[in-house]
């Protein structure tokens, strides 16, 4: 039969292994969430460009953001359309 010290050492090793597995799983989850968000942002950008029939350049973003904010202030038109 294993001594108490040996059993404690075994438990510590198992604990470290579980922490390593947890860290790995959390990293996988974060990576999957980042990929999902990136895909969504690309799809939204592509949808906006398809409606505008022209590419959106970085310098156009403040105008687009301002337009969307105005729509929301005037009556939440975009939010209502998304429901």
Q: How many distinct structural domains can be found in the chain?
A: 2
Q: Report pLDDT digits (tens) over 6-33.
A: 999 999 999 999 999 999 999 999 999 9
Residue 69 and residue 47 share a domain: no
Token pair belonging to 73: 């202030």
Q: Are residues 41 and 1 in the same domain?
A: yes
Shared domain check, 66 and 43? no
- The H-assigned helical ranges of the chain are 4-52, 61-75, 77-82
User: Containing domain of residue 16, as a range?
Assistant: 1-52
**Same-domain check for residues 29 and 61:** no
* pLDDT of res. 38: 98
In this prediction, residue 50 carries a pLDDT of 94
* Cβ–Cβ < 8 Å for 48, 56: yes
pLDDT tens-place string over residues 34-76: 999 999 999 999 999 999 999 999 999 999 999 989 988 888 8
């Amino acid at each position: 039969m294993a001594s108490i010290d040996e059993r404690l050492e075994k438990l510590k090793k198992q604990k470290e292994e579980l922490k390593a597995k947890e860290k790995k799983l959390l990293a996988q989850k974060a990576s999957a969430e980042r990929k999902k968000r990136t895909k969504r942002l690309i799809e939204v950008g592509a949808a906006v460009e398809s409606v505008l029939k022209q590419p959106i350049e970085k310098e156009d973003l403040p105008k687009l953001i301002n337009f969307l904010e105005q729509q929301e202030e005037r009556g939440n038109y975009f939010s209502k359309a998304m429901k």
